[in-house]
Amino acid sequence: MNKFLLFLSFYLLLSTNIVPQNNDPIVKPEFREYRFGITALSSLGWLTPLQQKIYSRGKIGLGFGWGFNVEKNFNPNTSFRTGFSISTFKAGLNYFDDNLSLNHRTYYVLDAQEEFVNWSSDTPPPDGDLYQLINRKYNIKYFNIPFILKLKTNEIGYFTYYGEFGASIGFKTKALVEDDIIALDSNLLSLDNFGNSSTKKDIDIKEGTKTIRLGLSLGAGAEYNLSGNTSLFFQLNWNYFLLDQLKSADNENFLRKETSEGSGVFESVGAKSIPGTIVLSFGVLF
């Protein structure tokens, strides 16, 4: 019995010395078919007008959001990521830029509740307050679903590095604008009758923006293993959207321009612009 206790003590002492005394043993992650995660994100957004002799890119906007991730692992190095996120896209567009050779003046009308008034083409301004639009900042909220292929390295120390690419679809849930405008007399549309410039905030623009956006996404990031299958992650993505964010001229009900200065004849405005974002995300996978 004494020999057995002596042998057991020697074995435990040897086993203890194999593991460093100042560190807990590393618990390596096991392969799981599915992983889940929560994420927070911030983004820089911009709008690129296609008619760059008429319109110009406005200020870059800062948006925020959050989401839930689901990863389907095919093997330790390849997975498919989906889930959902709720994010805000912010960006500006200049509707009147003195530096552009083909700029024109864009007008709209608001009613007493500061809502946009439908304005039929080839008609004078409808009843309400008439304004010239100088520049506009968009604030649009989307519900997004990603479809992403994720390619990962083996764990290096505590880190796993990855690249990813794929697509996403977004559904608009809310759209507001902040406009820099000049008040006008609805009967006198000449420069001599411009009022003082001002800003109108939080005007509902749902009808002036498209409901769905489709985008391509390219990104890279890293996971830091905390223990087992629990990891912190951070990543940077560039998103390029394939569809114009704004309604086409044929479907635009509010914005108008004169066919020629002083003519009193108005036509639809189509400021076709493609959105883009750079998104920084971080969160937890488990």
Q: What is the pLDDT of residues 199-249, one digit of tens each?
A: 999 999 988 999 999 999 999 999 999 988 899 999 999 999 999 999 999
Amino acid identity for residue 88 in this structure:
T
User: Please, which pLDDT band fits residue 271 given cuts at 50, 70 and 90?
Assistant: very high
Q: At 197, is the pLDDT very low, low, confident or very high (cuts 50, 70, 90)? A: confident
Give the integer Cα–Cα distance in Å for 195 and 203. 20
If phi > 0 it is left, if psi is from -120 to 50 it is alpha, else beta; for residue 9 that is: alpha
The answer to whether the CB of 149 falls within 8 A of the CB of 88 is: no
Residues 28-57 have pLDDT tens digits of 567 889 999 999 999 999 999 999 999 999
Of 142, 127, 199, the closest CA to residue 175 belongs to 142
11 has a pLDDT exceeding 90: no
- Whether residue 2 is predicted with pLDDT greater than 90 in this model: the reply is no
Question: Residue 140 pLDDT more than 90?
Answer: yes
Q: Name the residue with tokens 């764990």.
A: 155
In CATH, what class is 32-285?
Answer: mainly beta
Per-residue confidence band for 5, with pLDDT thresholds at 50, 70 and 90: very low
* Domain ranges across the chain: 32-285
Cα→Cα distances 205→40, 49, 53, 239, 255, Å = 26, 18, 25, 23, 11
pLDDT at 187 over 80: no
pLDDT tens digits for 79-108?
Answer: 999 999 999 999 999 999 999 989 999 999
Tell me the mean pLDDT in the region 142-151: 98
